[in-house]
Copies of this chain bind each other. A is one copy, B any other.
Amino acid sequence: MSTKQPGSWLQLKRVVRFGDTDPAGVIHFHQLFRWSHEGWEESLQLFGLPAAEVFPGASKTDPAPPIALPIVHCQADFLSPIKTADNLSVQLSPERIDLSSFVVRTQFFRGSEEVANSVLHHLAINAQTRKRCDLPVGICRWLEASSLYLGVQPV
């Protein structure tokens, strides 16, 4: 488990790069989902959860983790134009939904202004049978620590 200050794994930074934007001069909308997923990965890493426990294809993953975590729903709101070189603060608010699923809410701020947010809804399934199953232990620890930090009562 991370020895960093409480909740530090939920507060990230991101600089918008040129290739994230389109000829309208603002972020091309679906890049926000790439950022959201990468933010989730960075959060697990900062928390101390090895990628090989969660992601197939990670270094030292052999065999692949027995549980897959596909996204079954996602959504995003765009509140203000996001441009190249914007310095964004990224705030994650994960929440367990039930024994086999969780959401990661992500808010993107430029200074104190929220410019966009997203929700990724993950479901735990057995990677072989693709049947719904319980969340992996490491993900449960991350969800619990996050909910404690966020002042949410864990399920």
Query: Which residues of A are interface residues toward B (Cβ below 8 A)?
Result: 15, 17-19, 21-26, 28-30, 33-34, 37-38, 41-42, 45, 50-52, 55-59, 61, 64, 68, 70-79, 81, 83-86, 120, 127, 130
Contacts and interface: CB of A to CB of B under 8 A. Distances in A.
B19 A21 contact: no
Given A30-B33, A78-B72, A38 B19 contact: yes
Given A71-B78, A76-B74, A22 B18 contact: yes
Given A19-B38, A84-B57, A70 B30 contact: no
A74 B50 CA distance: 31
Contact of A30 (B19, B24, B56, B85): B19
A41 to B, nearest CB: 5
A97 B51 CA distance: 38
Given A19-B38, A33-B33, A37-B18, A59 B75 contact: no
Going nearest first, the 8 A-B pairs with the smallest beta carbon separation are A23-B57, A51-B85, A75-B75, A30-B33, A25-B57, A58-B84, A29-B71, A23-B56
